Amino acid sequence: MPALPDALGLFLELAAIPSPPGEERAVADRVLAYLDALGLEATEDEAGPRIGSTMGNIVVRIPPSSEGTAGVPIFLCAHLDTVRPTAAIEPVVEDGLVRNAQPTILGADNKAAVAVMLEASRRVLAEGREHAGLELVFTPKEETGLEGAHELDPAGLAARVGFVYDHAGPIGEIVAAAPSSTSIDAVFVGRAAHAGMHPEEGRSAIYAAARAIGDLRLGRIDPETTANVGEISGGTARNIVPDRCAVVAEARSHDDAKLAEVVQEMVDACTFAAALAECEVELEVEEQYRGYRFRPEDEVFRLAAAALSASGFEPRGIPAGGGADANVFNATGRPCANLANGMTRIHSADEHIAVADLEAMVDVTLNLVEAARHG
């Protein structure tokens, strides 16, 4: 087997390659080259054109180490996109931490997981480790709504349980509960007019949107539920009554009944505000992902806990406020746990990860393969 970079070296390579959602091709090609060097044949589906990405979902299967091997085949999943950077990415190692020397994201979310999964797979093969079957899945456009995972055909996976490393927290945390999320896109349509000469003839779409937003419950609504307006755009010029304004919002909750209630409130607020401003509103409400909950005795949680314990970490289940590709797999009937991997301050210019955590997650992954072998 040719000499390949370790987890740190590979992560530094991957992080330096920009891969905002939809533009993951260069990173995908690096991953494919690494897999090829391992003698593994990867497949790439046709999801790319459907979701506006330069890559599809990549899947590679490492068959069980011997015929009839007992245990639980598992899959590991990581996404290749990052949130969009605002400057060059120049990963550096300082005082045992990997940071970006430039004032933007590092991309540990999720390239730290990619590097760890590839290095662990290399060691499984190079060291001839016994295993019950291992599959690797790499997805595009996770950051924009788990789009790649939604397009993946789960029937193409042999493994029945999986793991992602996509939670920013100390190693040992297992996401035992994740929320459901619904997106609300509202386009307010009014009537344009000259703002100085004939304002009474206009119907302001921005006013309608502002009135709607002012009536919304936003932020943390209760311990299980949040809502947010993330984008507003509209208008054409300072002196024109705006005839169009778009609002992009979302709501999340661990309780589906609460989520439905908040979403209906948001829809009602938009409808009422539009009528008040004598405007129309076009609404699109869509489930982004469905929540899940694990018990300690569930197989996927038990395997994760065993691997973490074997690596010297105390496993602990936690609730999370965000979604990951794990949500999609769980919704399709394949239990998938999201494990914290030490990423810190993701999506920010202070994003970083410890070299020790990269190395530790390789050990966790190898122990996960071992735990799955014993079932």
Kindly give, in sequence order, each residue whose CB lies less than 8 Å from that of residue 83, ignoring residues fewer than 6 positions away: 20, 21, 105, 109, 143, 347
Helix (H, G, I), strand (E, B) or coil at 147: helix
| 81 carries an active-site annotation | yes
Cis bond leading into 341, ω under 30°? no
142 is catalytic: yes
Catalytic residue among 81, 151, 351, 363: 81
Provide the pairing of β-strand 161-167 with 336-340: parallel
Q: Which residues contact 227 (CB under 8 A, 6 or more apart)?
A: 216, 217, 218, 219, 221, 249, 250, 251, 252, 262, 266
Pairing mode of beta strands 134-139, 219-222: unpaired
From 23, 24, 135, 142, the catalytic residue: 142
Write the CA distances from 82 to 111, 174, 311, 371, integer angstroms.
Answer: 8, 22, 28, 31
Q: Are 234 and 152 in contact (CB under 8 A)?
A: no
Number of H helices, E strands in the chain: 10, 19
- What is the rounded (10 degree) CA torsion for 224, 141, 133, 300? 0
Active site residues: 81, 142
